[in-house]
Each structure stands twice: as C-alpha cells, then as structure tokens.
Amino acid sequence: MKQVILVFIGGGVGSVLRYLVGTFLKVPSSGFPWGTFSVNVLGSLTIGILMGLSLKNSILTENQTLLLVTGLCGGFTTFSAFAYENQVFLKDGDFTSFLVYSLGSIGIGLVAVFIGFFLSKSF
C-alpha cells in the first residue's frame, strides 16, 4: 500500500506541474501544442537523469524510484494528450504539424533520455 501512495503523491505533483507548464507555454496564436511537447521532453530528460543516477550510484531506493520516476515523471508527461493533439492535426489535414510534432516528440524525447543518462555520469 505504501508504494501505491508514493505513486499517487508523485503523480499528483507531476500532474500539477504539467498543468502549470502547459498554462505558461500556451501560445494563443499558435496551433502547436508547446506545453505537451515541453513536458514530454523535460520528463524524458528527468527520467534519464534519475535512472542514470540510480543505475550508476544506486542512490534511489525502490520507493524513491516509484515516487520520482513512476509517479512524478509519469504524472508530468502525457502520452494521451500527445495522441489527441496528433489526432486533431490529422483531422484538420495539417500533416506538416503532425509529422513535426510526432517525429520531434519521439526523437527529441529519446535524445533527452540519452542526455539525462550522460549528465548523470557527471554526478
């Protein structure tokens, strides 16, 4: 039960942070979902750093990993919003935005995880 509570707390904090970042980055005149894109890249970087540090130094306990990686990063990032926003691009016939957003999110997200692992080697 303790693990469920840790994921719950981390997920709640991550969701609030996602909302705040999304609100801050909302550009009224832009149809591009900068908020979702940013939280997914930042979440990928964060999970790369946390898991890199954890694997390198064993500094995170199982409970800390549940709180920070599963909860916080899981609540902060959002695949469902990513999928919905891509559906809107396709429905509107905006194939350029669909491709840029999809490939950019996946590609930059993967690079961010690798950068996170690389940065964790510095600590």
Mean pLDDT by 10 residues, the chain (123 residues): 97 96 82 92 95 88 94 94 95 96 97 95 83
Q: For the whole model, what pTM was predicted?
A: 0.88
Q: What is the reported pLDDT for 55? A: 86
Alpha carbon separation from 93 to 17, 36, 85 (Å, rounded): 31, 20, 12
CA gap 8, 71 in Å, rounded: 6
Q: What is the reported pLDDT for 15? A: 97
SS3 43: helix
Among 30, 26, 7, which residue's Cα sits nearest to residue 76? 7
- Number of continuous H segments (helices) and E segments (strands) in the chain: 6, 0
Indicate the domain borders of the chain. 2-26+33-120
Residue 45 burial (CB < 10 Å; 0-12/13-18/19+)?
A: buried
